[in-house]
Structure 1
């Protein structure tokens, strides 16, 4: 998984529906990572989480992320444990994203779903139930990269068949396609290499 950071004209000022959770391997690692992030300009964040075993932080531009306490499920994910997407219906979202990415659904309930690459490597995609529909655009989104030799247009059509819809964010003539998933979360389909 790659993380791209791009410039956007607007500051983070809304509660968005997607964030990253960082993995730790021990209590000492958790403390050291939080300290390092503070030194890099992150700040503690209160999003109403209450008393939880993980640390909620914001990067220098206000993007919220979490530093998780050590959890066995994330021991082999690398530094990013999971990409978390809030949604109304984790079951429907797991069905869409499982088909869209060909990732394995490891757990699905009415409250939560967890998917991961069929190869069993990298971070998880977690879908957490929260009430209410999307009311704001998120600054964090997924980009899908078709396999080498696949046709981008055919992949976009396949995703539309799964329930994705076209999205115009003023992107103009770009080499990627902008879509929304079944709950309106933005994502892009890149051109295969």
Structure 2
């Protein structure tokens, strides 16, 4: 079982934002935990929300803004169909345009888009028992055999680890097994092949 662990200065506010915006349509649970450190830089993980129609996309954006989100410029081009927003603590997410074939049949929370290598994509595929649904040019994506949210890894270059990671994966698993699959320990903490920490329940 996988979950997304989400650091927040105000966990209750951020939980309200996401639970209201997604209306509980999350095949990967999001768990919020407190931090006293403000966000700096771009996150290693950001969420992609899907749209059924252009009107659905507009409604999702409007709802996010009503709940305390904001438009965000990360260098996207005007002709691109997705809309980049930030949640109330500045965490990036995208509302993807209708008709996106890559995210077809994923649900409203279409993807966790991650900065990560192919080796890390293969590690999480093996750890979760989720098959690869994309493997091209060092970019990978995995998805549960039952469908739902994809997890994509964008390939190199992979940004170095920072001491202020806002989003981490949590897994109900066995440490020894995960070590045989490619994880390692850094100061007693499990990390994936890219050196990014994750939590074991």
**Deviates most, 126-135 or 92-101:** 126-135
Change (3 A) 1:167 1:66: farther
- 2:84 corresponds to 1:69: no
Q: Report the equivalent of 1:81.
A: 110
- 2:175 corresponds to 1:156: yes
1:178 positional shift: 4.6
Q: Report the equivalent of 2:155.
A: 129
Q: Report the equivalent of 1:187.
A: 198
Change (3 A) 1:117 1:32: same
Q: Aligned-pair RMSD on alpha carbons? A: 1.8
- 2:70 corresponds to 1:43: yes
Q: Secondary structure at the match of 1:5?
A: strand
1:63 positional shift: 0.8
Q: Map of 1:1-193 to 2, 5 A cutoff?
A: 1-51=28-78, 52-70=80-98, 71-87=100-116, 89-90=117-118, 92-119=119-146, 121-136=147-162, 137-146=164-173, 155-167=174-186, 178-190=189-201
Aligned residues: 171
Runs of 4+ in structure 1 displaced over 3 angstroms? Answer: none
8 Å contact kept, 2:115–2:158? no
Q: Give CA deviations for 1:7-63 in whole Å, capped at 9, x if unaligned.
A: 111111122211111111111100110011011111111112233210111111111
Higher relative contact order (CA 8 A, sep 6+): 2
Gapped runs of 5+ residues in structure 1? 147-154, 169-176
1:75 positional shift: 3.6
1:187 positional shift: 1.3
Q: Give CA deviations for 1:123-144 in whole Å, capped at 9, x if unaligned.
A: 0010112424424242111111
Normalised to the residue count of structure 2, the TM-score between the two structures is 0.78
1:66 positional shift: 0.8
